[in-house]
């Protein structure tokens, strides 16, 4: 099967996603997936591209009850048509609980574990005076984790379950994802520029 390059995948993401927040989510999950691929000795490019494209159709088709195009059905159909790797397709399908696809690969489990936690980390960085993710520590994220009113839409129990399914400790998982995201602070706009512009 042909493999999408990172540049090709990013071009597709930019075509499909105009929302800056959603683009930053895609970049965050990509960084986290690359970090896990390095940790496990897996294919970093494939894992990274999978993280990058996992929500590609969400902006256009957010209604998950739409059984034809609802996220991620439209993108899965395209990935099949493009002949993208089966492992990528499976991981993207499995990250959507409502499809009922069980994660059968390490990559699929990692994608589920990395998906939602990135949102909590970004939100934690944004409430810091510096607006710089490089100032965020694991304990800061854990403090916000315990505050259920903070980013209330993020399901902590689901994240904890998915991290356990991956076989990782929650604190270690937060640390790995956080460090990965710090590595792309400027791409995320979380390098302190927001505080400097106020």
pLDDT by residue (tens digit) across 59-73?
998 877 878 777 899
Placement of tokens 């970090």 in the chain? 35
- Lowest mean per-residue pLDDT among 15-24, 103-112, 178-187, 188-197: 188-197
Q: CA 67, 68, 72, 74: dihedral to nearest 10 degrees? A: 180
Cα separation, 159 vs 156, whole angstroms: 5
pLDDT band at 115 (very low <50, low <70, confident <90, very high): very high
The band of 125, judged by pLDDT with boundaries at 50, 70 and 90, is: very high
Domain map of the chain by residue range? 1-111, 116-198
Q: What is the CATH number of domain 1-111?
A: 1.10.472
* Mean pLDDT computed over 147-173: 96
Structure token pair of residue 28: 């965050």
Q: Give the Cα separation of 133 and 189 in Å (integer).
A: 9
Strands (DSSP E) along the chain, which ranges?
Answer: none
Q: pLDDT at position 83, please?
A: 94
Predicted confidence at residue 16, as pLDDT, reads 96
Taking 80 as the threshold, does the pLDDT of residue 28 lie above it? yes
User: What does pLDDT average to over the chain?
Assistant: 93
Q: Quote the tokens at residue 82.
A: 């493009």
Terminal Cα-to-Cα distance of the chain (whole angstroms): 48
Determine the pLDDT at residue 135: 96
* pLDDT at residue 62, as a whole number: 83
Q: Which of 191, 177, 189, 187 is nearest to 38 (CA)?
A: 177
Q: How far apart are CA 80 and CA 57, in angstroms?
A: 14
How crowded is residue 183: how many other Cβ atoms within 10 Å of its Cβ?
15
- The residue behind tokens 């994608």 is 111
């Amino acid at each position: 099967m042909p493999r999408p390059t990172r540049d090709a995948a990013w071009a597709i993401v930019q075509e499909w996603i105009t929302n800056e927040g959603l683009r930053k989510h895609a970049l965050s999950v990509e960084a986290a997936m690359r970090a896990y691929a390095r940790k496990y000795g897996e294919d970093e490019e494939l894992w990274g591209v999978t993280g990058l494209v996992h929500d590609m159709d969400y902006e256009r088709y957010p209604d998950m009850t739409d059984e034809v195009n609802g996220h991620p059905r439209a993108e899965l159909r395209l990935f099949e048509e493009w002949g993208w790797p089966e492992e990528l397709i499976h991981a993207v399908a499995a990250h959507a609980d409502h499809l009922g696809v069980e994660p059968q690969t390490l990559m699929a489990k990692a994608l589920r574990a990395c998906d939602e936690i990135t949102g909590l980390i970004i939100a934690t960085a944004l409430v810091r005076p510096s607006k710089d993710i490089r100032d965020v520590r694991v304990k800061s994220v854990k403090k916000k984790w315990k505050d259920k009113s903070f980013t209330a839409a993020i399901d902590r129990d689901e994240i904890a379950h998915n991290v356990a399914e991956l076989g990782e400790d929650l604190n270690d998982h937060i640390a790995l994802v956080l460090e990965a995201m710090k590595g792309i602070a400027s791409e995320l706009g979380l390098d302190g520029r927001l505080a400097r512009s106020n």
